Chain A
Amino acid sequence: MSEFLSEIEACVPALRRYARALTRNADTADDLVQDCLERAIARRGLFRPQGPVRAWLFTILLNLYRNGLRAGRRRGQVVALDDVPSEPVTPAPQPGHMALAETARAIDALPLDQKEALLLIVLEGVSYAEAAGILGVPQGTLMSRLSRARAALRSAAGVPGEPYLRTVK
């Protein structure tokens, strides 16, 4: 039990970081992480699958997040006035160079499946295999989501759409 809690504890900073990036709100993110931890602790033993705790925690977190989104859609969402995105004041200085705020907006605009995948790989640095396991999709699906996410960020940065590699296989 104590060892299990230590394993979970080691994952908390990463869970917070990931939740923050998904929700873009510190309180919502921590609530999500707390729900995730409580669920994990309640199910230790009986419902915990074999394998690394980290992947399991991320799966629980993502399920809670998606359920929350579904519930939120039914209720309608409350957005603080400060969180309402404003128009970018200055254009990006050069194509391909993204201002941070612009990147944040581009990521927010990504479809959820792409956003989940991109953040797992880039922010959490998990392997393709682990990310595919967490998201419950084949690795090929994961990679095509990543590729589309990259392309979307690229065009958001003002780089002409077509990546160079069409000819090379």
Chain B
Amino acid sequence: MSAVGPISRETLLAYADGQLPQAEAETVAAYLAANPEAAAEVALWARQDDSIRTLFGPAGAEPVPPRLKPRRLAAEMESRNRGRWRWAAAAVVLLGIGLGAGWLTRPLLESRPATYDILIASAVNAHRVFAAENRHAVEVASNDRDHLVTWLSNRLETEVGTPDLSVEGFTLKGGRLLPADPQAGGRAAQLMYENAAGERVTVYITAALPDPEPAYEFASLDGAEAFYWANARITCTVVGTLPQERMQTVSRTVYRQLTGGSTGMEEYRGMS
């Protein structure tokens, strides 16, 4: 055993935690056989492990209560969402009919739908209206990008960026200022993107809501896909009629750029 050299504490820990590849583990085992003091330390760690597993291991073998079944949770969330989307659909209709008619039908609504439902509905509505326009699709075109950004940021009183969607094949066409729900500051910025095929995606941004809890929603609404999220700075809804999968990719890119997040794990760490 004298052939075995000194072994670092880190290696011993990794050995005790079962993290070493087999060859290395065998070397450490041989070393321990010749070094009772080190062996005692490793044995102590093993006893710690036993205690921890004895204490907490059984919880993992208990039958899982129904409320923790993912399928059931998903179904419950789905039906909650359906309820909400009925509100959102109603909001779209109301916006379409116009404010006056909206007031008339207001008593029919038992309570105010969640602000984000209103925002999503507004974003979808705005997409529908302006994505169909040709000469007047945007108010400020992308060749005046700096002005667009400064102007919208000032009006929304929050920093509005224009995400770069060239990876997805989309270029910025321009943007406009729109009225929005008072809860979200009363103003929204709509950015419009277009690809070579003439398909359009809009990004609807407002200042943060009074309760700037992070939130995430996505839904299909009358043939359009909408992806909504909010953070402490903005709310953002990406709308388009691309297939759902492509919309997700585009939305992910927008999200990443507008939240200033990097890639990978940090991205959702900040969001939880």
Contacts and interface: CB of A to CB of B under 8 A. Distances in A.
Interface of A: 1, 5-6, 8-9, 12-14, 16-17, 20-21, 26, 29-30, 33-34, 37-39, 41-43, 45-50, 55-56, 59-60, 63-64, 67, 96-98, 100, 103-104, 107, 118-119, 121-123, 125, 127-128, 133, 136, 143, 146-147, 150, 153-154, 157, 159, 163-165, 168-169
B77 A12 contact: no
B268 A43 contact: yes
A157 to B, nearest CB: 8
A103 B57 contact: no
A50 B269 CA distance: 14
B59 A20 contact: yes
Contacts, number: 162
Interface in B23-75: 37-38, 40-41, 44-45, 47-49, 51-57, 59-62, 64-65, 67-71, 73-74
B51 A164 contact: no
A46 B227 contact: yes
B15 interface: no
Interface stretch (B2-10, B87-95, B136-144, B204-212): B2-10
Given A47-B271, A119-B56, A38 B77 contact: yes
A37 B73 contact: yes
Contacts of B168: none
24 contacts: A5-B70, A6-B70, A13-B64, A16-B60, A29-B59, A33-B68, A46-B218, A48-B268, A49-B265, A55-B265, A59-B269, A63-B269, A64-B272, A104-B55, A119-B56, A121-B17, A122-B49, A123-B57, A128-B14, A150-B45, A150-B48, A153-B48, A165-B12, A169-B8
B74 A41 contact: yes
B60 A103 contact: no
A64 B272 CA distance: 6
- Chain B contact-residue range equals 35 or more
Contacts of B260: none
